[in-house]
Amino acid sequence: MTKFKRGNIFNNVEIVDIASGGKAVGKVDNVVIFINNAVPGDVVDVVINSVKRRYYEGNVLNFIKFSDKRTDPKCTHFGVCGGCKWQNLSYTEQLKFKQKQVVDNLVRIGKITINSIEDIIPSENIYYYRNKLEYTFSNKRWLTKDEFNADPFVPLNINGLGFHIPGLFSKVLNIDECFLQAAPSDAIRLAVKKFAIVNDYTFFDLKEQTGFLRNLIIRTSTQSELMVIVVFHQEDDEKVNALMQHLAEQFPEITSLMYVINPKRNDTISDLDVILYKGKDHLTEKMNELTFRIGPKSFFQTNSVQALTLYNVVKDFAGLTGKEIVYDLYTGTGTIAIFLSAAAKKVVGVEYIEQAIENAKENSLFNGQKNTVFVAGIMEKILDNAFIQTHGQPDVVITDPPRSGMHPKVVEQLLQIAPSKIVYVSCNPSTQARDLALLSGAYNVLKIQPVDMFPHTEHVENVALLLKK
């Protein structure tokens, strides 16, 4: 029997699949090894770097054979940056494995009998599709092998502005060019970094929690609007104003220029004041005839174009006639609720984040809707009999929970409420499958539609239509 331990090398391992976490799957003596930076069809030599209870993790030492499913990564940061793990896999193959991931989870975890499943809907854009990116400043950036082995007597600037290295939160990879967000995202990031270095602004030390520059957030919309938020660790009016004025002059296309002072130990700005330096305090996004205002703290689907595709699937599955009361659980800033409201008698959105509910109310009012109600509360506590009596018995429930899925109590409440139809939108097919299994005693899964929102990643959205038995 083969013994597995860290440092062991196995030769001629064929990559046979991709796991839900995005890593390639190889097998030795029927034992699963999760492998970085390989694709199905590759044959590789693997070194074991981690021993778990039921599986092992490894890295590729040598490629013996390259798969015909491969494609050349477009990004020079591929393999270090964890943002686009599948750039070495053709987009056609990415879609096949995402579809397989949905089916495998529904069958294996949910024990769902799948009579039919629609083909996954591809993303219209596979590059430059994100409307929001957040970069981190670091005074000890990740060094490449060449930099690490360079002449120690040659000065090396180790300030960086980019993304966290996967699994190493204190390490930040400096980004030169990124294909996730359209221009001028790269130019703004590079200009901020250059200005900071030239003017001796200190970059943040993630371990010591010191330094002046902390984060840079860039948001865009399909309406050619651009929001830039610079997050500083401490106050310094002179330095803040100098950088903000530099951005305003260099990039007049910025429509919302803002900054935040964040002295906390975490990066979230949801509980902090966002100060408007120049322009509007929001972006606008359009979906069909609807207009959404997106503030600096607002949640909005990260792929704006594909979000419309996703919401059209939800609307189709809901099959509204104008007579239904609809509950939209985990409504966020109310985008789905607002999108469906014209086809419903009444839509009730529920979300635990109060600021998101305020955004939902503002967007509903802005669009002139009078049949939407938005309520803030903890989901597993709020859906009681009093809530139903106040807002009405729902005919249709839309649920779009976080990656962790629905709380067990929410599932129990849905079974008690017993709407005739549930449309379950999920960004995590495994937790969706778990929840569908819990609902299976009372509901049949009628339709399944995967949607790709994030090309070059393992992530996939899935919409399931449940009908009451």
Torsion sign over Cα 72, 75, 77, 80: negative
Annotate 245-255 with b (16+ C-beta within 10 A) or e (fewer). Answer: ebbeeeeeebb
Burial of 299 (0-12, 13-18, 19+ CB in 10 A): middle
* Count of C-beta atoms within a 10 Å radius of residue 145: 8
223 and 286 Cβ atoms separated by less than 8 Å = yes
314 and 398 Cβ atoms separated by less than 8 Å = yes
Q: Give me Rg for the CA atoms of the chain.
A: 24
3-state secondary structure of 429: helix
Q: Which residues, in sequence order, are CB contacts of 238 under 8 Å at separation 6+?
A: none
CA separation, residue 275 to residues 26, 244, 254, 280 (Å): 51, 11, 15, 11
Torsion sign over Cα 424, 427, 433, 439: negative
Residue 403: CA count within 13 A, CB half-sphere? 4
* Residues with catalytic function: 427
Paired residues of 290 in beta bridges: 287
95 and 77 Cβ atoms separated by less than 8 Å = no
> CA 95, CA 89: separation in Å to the nearest integer?
10
